[in-house]
C-alpha cells in the first residue's frame, strides 16, 4: 500500500470538539446552546459566564484545537499521508453541520472522526455521536450524502496513557526537587469532569455492569501511580476527584470535588500535591478556571504546594497515537485484521459502539458510529 493510502477508504479526517466562545458577546449564546433543553435559568448561566469573562470572554479550547490540527497535520505529513483535515464544533463556530456541508461541496464523501474526549459516557462519547447523526441527517435533507465513522475511545490507548504516565512522573519529580518533601506528606490527585451518577452508572457497553467512566479513570490513575513508583522509586497515595459540577443541587453527581478534597488532605497533614487532570485532553476552561484558578487558590490558602500536570494537548506521543488510531480505523473499514494495542486495560474499546452503549437518559436520539444507529 502506498503511504498516501493509509487512511483509505476515508477522504477526510474530522476533529470534532465541544467548542467555546471567542469573544464576550458569544459567551451567553454559547452557554444557552450547551444547556438547551435542561431548563437552566439565565441567572445561573450568568454565573458561569463570569468564568469566561475573567479570561476576556474567550475560551482557550478553539486555539488548542487549532494547535492540535497543526500537530496532526505535521504527523500525517511525516507519514506521507495527504488526507485533508477538517475541524467542527458542537457548540460554537465552526459548527459541525456547516463543516460537513462545506466538505461535501468540495467532493468529500467519507470521513473518519477524532473526538476530543477519551472516555466512555453519554456526554463524552454518545452525545458526539448524536450530533454527528443530526448533522448527517441535515445534509441528507438537502440531498447531500455523507458517511461518517470515528476512531475508538482512547482512554486506554497507549498514545494517551503512556503520555499521561510521563507527564505525571515529570511533575512529581519537579515537585520533589522543589520541596524535598517526604512521600507521607505528598499525594497524587487525579481530576476529571464530574458527571451525574446516573450517567456514570449507565456508561459503557450496556451489559449491565456500567460505571465505565469512573472505572476507566480509576484504572489509569492506579497504573500511573504504579509506573511512577517504579520510575522514581516512590510510593505515593493517590485519589480520583472531580471538578466542574453543574445542574440542580438535588441531582447527585460524582464526588468528591477537587477543592473539598484538598481541604481534607490538609487536615491529614498533606503539604504537597501533584494535580493531574487526566480527564481532559487540553487546558480548556475547566482546567484553567476550576484547577488553575479555584483549586490553586484553595491550595495556597491551605499552605499546600501544588504542581498541576499538563494535559496531553499536542504532546508528540499523544498525537502520534491519534494518527495510529486513524490508521487502525481505516484498516478496519477496509476489512483487514489489525492489532489494537491497549493499556492498562488490555481490552481495546470498540470503534462501533454496541447497542445500548452510554444511553441518553433524557430522550432517544439517533447516533452514528454504533450498532443502534
pLDDT in tens, the chain (373 residues): 455 589 999 999 999 999 999 999 999 999 999 888 777 888 888 988 998 999 999 999 999 999 999 999 999 999 999 999 999 999 999 999 999 999 999 999 999 999 999 999 999 999 999 999 999 999 999 999 999 999 999 999 999 999 999 999 999 999 999 888 678 899 999 999 999 999 999 999 988 789 999 999 999 999 999 999 999 999 999 999 999 987 777 789 999 999 999 999 999 999 999 999 999 999 999 999 999 999 999 999 999 999 999 999 999 999 999 999 999 999 999 999 999 999 999 999 999 999 999 999 999 999 999 997 5
Please, are residues 228 and 169 in contact by the beta-carbon 8 Å criterion?
A: yes
Nearest to 156 by CA among 219, 229, 238, 239: 219
Q: pLDDT per residue over 22-42, tens digit each?
A: 999 999 999 999 888 777 888
E strand or H helix that includes residue 131: helix 127-141
- What residues are paired with 95 via a beta bridge? 89
> Residue 373's pLDDT is what?
58
Percent of the chain with pLDDT over 90: 87
Please, are residues 295 and 306 in contact by the beta-carbon 8 Å criterion?
A: yes
- C-alpha 61: how far from chain center: 12
Please, are residues 277 and 289 in contact by the beta-carbon 8 Å criterion?
A: no
Please, are residues 65 and 78 in contact by the beta-carbon 8 Å criterion?
A: no
Rounded to 5 degrees, φ, ψ at 358 are: 45, 65
> Residue 39's pLDDT is what?
73
Nearest to 157 by CA among 309, 329, 360, 282: 329
Q: State how beta strands 272-276 and 186-193 pair.
A: parallel
Q: pLDDT per residue over 123-141, tens digit each?
A: 999 999 999 999 999 999 9
**Backbone region of residue 336 per phi and psi (left: phi > 0; alpha: psi in -120 to 50; beta: other values):** beta
Amino acid at each position: 500500500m502506498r503511504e498516501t493510502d493509509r487512511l483509505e477508504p476515508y477522504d477526510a479526517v474530522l476533529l470534532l470538539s465541544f467548542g467555546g466562545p471567542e469573544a464576550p458577546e458569544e459567551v451567553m449564546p454559547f452557554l444557552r446552546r450547551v444547556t438547551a433543553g435542561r431548563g437552566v435559568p439565565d441567572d445561573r448561566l450568568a454565573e458561569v459566564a463570569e468564568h469566561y469573562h475573567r479570561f476576556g470572554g474567550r475560551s482557550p479550547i478553539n486555539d488548542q484545537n487549532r494547535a492540535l490540527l497543526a500537530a496532526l497535520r505535521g504527523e500525517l505529513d511525516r507519514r506521507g499521508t495527504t488526507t485533508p483535515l477538517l475541524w467542527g464544533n458542537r457548540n460554537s463556530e465552526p459548527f459541525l453541520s456547516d463543516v460537513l456541508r462545506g466538505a461535501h461541496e468540495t467532493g468529500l464523501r467519507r470521513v473518519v472522526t477524532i473526538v476530543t474526549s477519551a472516555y466512555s459516557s453519554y456526554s463524552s462519547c454518545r452525545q458526539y455521536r448524536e450530533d454527528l447523526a443530526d448533522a448527517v441527517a441535515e445534509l441528507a435533507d438537502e440531498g447531500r450524502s455523507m458517511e461518517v465513522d470515528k476512531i475508538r475511545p482512547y482512554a486506554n490507548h497507549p498514545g494517551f496513557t503512556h503520555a499521561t504516565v510521563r507527564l505525571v512522573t515529570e511533575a512529581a519529580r519537579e515537585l520533589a526537587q522543589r520541596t524535598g518533601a517526604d512521600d507521607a506528606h505528598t499525594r497524587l490527585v487525579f481530576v476529571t469532569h464530574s458527571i451525574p451518577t446516573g450517567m456514570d452508572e449507565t456508561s459503557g457497553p450496556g451489559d449491565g455492569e456500567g460505571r465505565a467512566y469512573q472505572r476507566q479513570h480509576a484504572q489509569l490513575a492506579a497504573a500511573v501511580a504504579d509506573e511512577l513508583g517504579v520510575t522514581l522509586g516512590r510510593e505515593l497515595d493517590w485519589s480520583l476527584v472531580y471538578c466542574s459540577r453543574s445542574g440542580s443541587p438535588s441531582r447527585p453527581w460524582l464526588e468528591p470535588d477537587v477543592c473539598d478534597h484538598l481541604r481534607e488532605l490538609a487536615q491529614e497533614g498533606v503539604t504537597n500535591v501533584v494535580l493531574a487532570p487526566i480527564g481532559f485532553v487540553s487546558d480548556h476552561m475547566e482546567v484553567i478556571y476550576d484547577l488553575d484558578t479555584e483549586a490553586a487558590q484553595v491550595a495556597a490558602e491551605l499552605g499546600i504546594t501544588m504542581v498541576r500536570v499538563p494535559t496531553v494537548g499536542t504532546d508528540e506521543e499523544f498525537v502520534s497515537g491519534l494518527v495510529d488510531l486513524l490508521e487502525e480505523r481505516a484498516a478496519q473499514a477496509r476489512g483487514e485484521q489489525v492489532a489494537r494495542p491497549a493499556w492498562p486495560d488490555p481490552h481495546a474499546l470498540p470503534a462501533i459502539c454496541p447497542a445500548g452503549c452510554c444511553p441518553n437518559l433524557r430522550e432517544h436520539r439517533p447516533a452514528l458510529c454504533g450498532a443502534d444507529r
